[in-house]
Structure 1
Amino acid sequence: MATKRIIDDDRLTAVGLLVEVHRGLTNKFATRLAHHGLSENELEILLRLGRTPNCQLRMSDLAAQTSLTTSGVTRVVDRLERGGLVNRASCDTDRRGTWAVLTDAGLERVTAAVAEHIEDVDRWYTGLLTPEQLSALVEALRIVRDTVRPEAVAGVAEAARARPRIAATSP
């Protein structure tokens, strides 16, 4: 009987499949996002702001939640701010802190992009699974995410407590 080689370990297969799926989905999603004038990073920031209480997060929390560096988040928010999709506001509790606040125009843009993006998500990802498989996958991914990236929800509770600093409108 042949011994199983360590390089054939199912744990390596699981990690490899996750990486391959991420790369494949990123490629599948890119075209439609470009149609809306958004990069993957811009969509992620707009979604994170839009799905957070008061549609605002501190810049440092955005960096912690994403795969971007602090300077990377600053560059993306700069572009979004120039486009009227995000505003910056000072943080009452931390003079060094700055909020990124989704504008009405930003919410409209991300909503329009997501309306089509969700079709791609369903076509290439969630629609391939049964409801039970999807539920189990989401639960499993949360367990892993909460262990390896607990900062992925950084600042959400603070954003819920903070009063909005500026109106979420476009200039």
Structure 2
Amino acid sequence: MPAITPLDAEELPETAPGLARLLIDSVDGGASVGFFAPLDFTTALRWWLALEAPLRDGSARIWLARQEDRVVGTIGLRLTGYPTGRHRAEVSKLLVHRDVRGQGLGRTLLAHAEREALAQELTLLFLDTETGSVAENLYRRSGWTPVGTIPDFAHDPRGALSPTTIFYKHLV
């Protein structure tokens, strides 16, 4: 299993190209993560580099899975800036490269983010995912609770409107 390590703002510029390639692979593989396919490298790179300020101020936390010096997976947490929401975070960009899918890395990254969140006194996580996707099945099998489904929530990578299921998980 690849090693999972935190990403900090200082290493983001050197790591961003690998993250961009991972995002492109995920989108090209059909993952509905906010981008249309085909995703170009410059757009993907800019998206990751824009996370420098949130990483620096602590409103975003990202972990990487590396295998042979290549980023093959990632997961992030986005924290709210509201005082009343200090106990919660949104799970974002759980990505696993197609070369290593089916080996439990997605489940490992999700469990890692849950442990890290709890260690940081976050007790509630939430996320949204494309209804009917492989990711939806992962969240259900990992003990997440579906709240409901929103029809036509987002375009999938090919441009079709797709429903999204909202999930949450209490960590205590």
Give TM-score scaled by structure 1 length.
Answer: 0.32
**More relative contact order in 1 or in 2 (CA 8 Å, sep 6+)?**
1
Relative to total residues, which structure has the larger helix share, 1 or 2?
1
Relative to total residues, which structure has the larger strand share, 1 or 2?
2
Q: Between Structure 1 and Structure 2, whose CA radius of gyration is higher?
A: 1
